[in-house]
Amino acid sequence: MKNESLDHFHEAFAQLAKRLPGAELPWLRAVRRSAFDQFNALGLPTTRHEDWKYTNVSVIGKRPWHFASQRTDRLGLIDGSDVQGIVDELALDPAGHRLVFVNGLHAPRLSKVNGLPHGVFVGSLARALREMPQRLQGTIAAQTYADGFTALSTAFLTDGFAVVLPPGEVIDQPLHMLFLTDEGGLAVQPFNVVLAGARSGCVIVEHFVGLGGDAYWTNAVTRIVADEQADVQHYRLQQEGSKAFHIASVAAAQQRASCFTSHAFAFGAALSRTGIDTSLNAANAQATLNGLYFVGGRQHVDHHTRIDHAAPHCTSREYYRGVLDGAARGVFNGRIIVHRDAQKTDTHQANHNLLLSRDAEVDTKPQLEIYADDVKCTHGATVGQLDENQLFYLRARGVEEHTAWALLTYAFARDIVERVRIDSLRGRLESLLLARTPEGERIRELL
């Protein structure tokens, strides 16, 4: 995309740079400036870029977004709405930990974090930049930018969540990070950091919800560092508005014997693109990437994943499924790289897609690059419709055709949902599947 088409981004950065959180920190000012220079050089990706061949984001660059909420009441959301009621309805656990962000900014009155172990920090990024900027500097400043979106998010870094775990500290209760957006024309740039010390552990749920019918844009970045024997379970639930754009980048760096588990669920947005990368940098690290996209109408959903096996004796598993109806389009690109020194690597990847209509389409590209010679690596992908034999089996046992069709669709998608370890989240996902599936109430009765 030509630079002259990005004038409104330049104007916004010039106006906001001195007012963004952490602007008093010389290192962060330098990072922001460098990131914006990178954005200026990279621009937004086009379909001429191989990784963006099937996802056209030109409409994002053409819109005159504003990068700061224009609402005077940060908790306003939709006029006359019960904001607390919305949060209570969406909460995974009414008594559990949660941080709530409204139109890009932390809302303390709606958030609840109690009883954390000594030395653990769970709070907004803006607060972390005030209280412990030195802890964040290495992670934020050391970024590389694969595309203009990640560079732009860093340049406009405003708020998000920060989780800092000292060695040996484990938070058993899930940390629910809820991002609510309803402001038309707003470009929200959440930037999230998770620093898990040696032998520490946490469960994080990033939950994006759109309210109202206006178009807005979420451009989220999450950076995770898992030190030796750390265990980080990361969930993403994307339920953006029907006219929204959602671009996300999740990157994890793993040390010896660490575990990183990613669960990505995409239901909303007119156009969404999620990139999830992890690098297994030391021996005996383990990574698991699970994902489900369930879309219809003219929705476009894209998932790009990358697993770098950079050290020996590491294991990774990846399971993604997609269900597409109407004229929806899905994209999956799963890249696994086994580097030269990564002997004894054990990795498996599978992507299966179910097309429910003639106009639905999916482009799947599993990639396996092996530069070591003592490895165990498999991968595969399928695209198809419901199995006629399975339909016949159910019909022969008295199940009506449309109910059998819906039941098999639900079962196909539920394979990924069953991998979720949080009971309340798994129940919510099952309800979302039933709501998306015709005959959902009938299926609920049968189950």
358 domain residue, yes or no: no
Write down the pLDDT at residue 173.
94
Q: Which residue has the tokens 């990368």?
A: 277
Write down the pLDDT at residue 80.
44
Eight-state DSSP code of residue 247: E
Residue 394 pLDDT greater than 80, yes or no: no
Q: Is the pTM here over 0.85, yes or no?
A: yes
195 domain residue, yes or no: yes
Eight-state DSSP code of residue 197: -
Largest CA distance in the chain: 71
- Phi then psi for 138, rounded to 5 degrees? -60, -45
> How many CB atoms lie under 10 A from the CB of residue 245?
23
Q: Identify the weakest region by mean pLDDT among 60-74, 169-183, 192-206.
A: 60-74
230, 254, 282 — which closes off a domain?
282
Co-location of 202 and 54 in the same domain: yes
Q: Average pLDDT in the 193-211 region?
A: 97
361 domain residue, yes or no: no
Report the domain count for the chain.
2
Write down the pLDDT at residue 441.
73
Write down the pLDDT at residue 2.
47
CB 56 within 8 A of CB 47: yes
For 309-342, the pLDDT digits (tens) are 999 999 999 999 999 999 999 999 999 999 999 9
329 domain residue, yes or no: no
310 domain residue, yes or no: no
Co-location of 20 and 169 in the same domain: yes
Output the CA–CA distances (angstroms, integers) from residue 137 to 93, 220, 279, in the order listed: 32, 18, 20
142 domain residue, yes or no: yes
Write down the pLDDT at residue 128.
97
Q: Domain of 256? A: 3-282
In 109-190, DSSP assigns E strands to 121-124, 161-165, 175-181, 187-188
Separation between Cα atoms, residue 37 and residue 39, nearest integer Å: 5
Q: Average pLDDT in the 124-139 region?
A: 96
Separation between Cα atoms, residue 360 and residue 297, nearest integer Å: 9
282, 309, 334 — which closes off a domain?
282
CB 244 within 8 A of CB 214: no
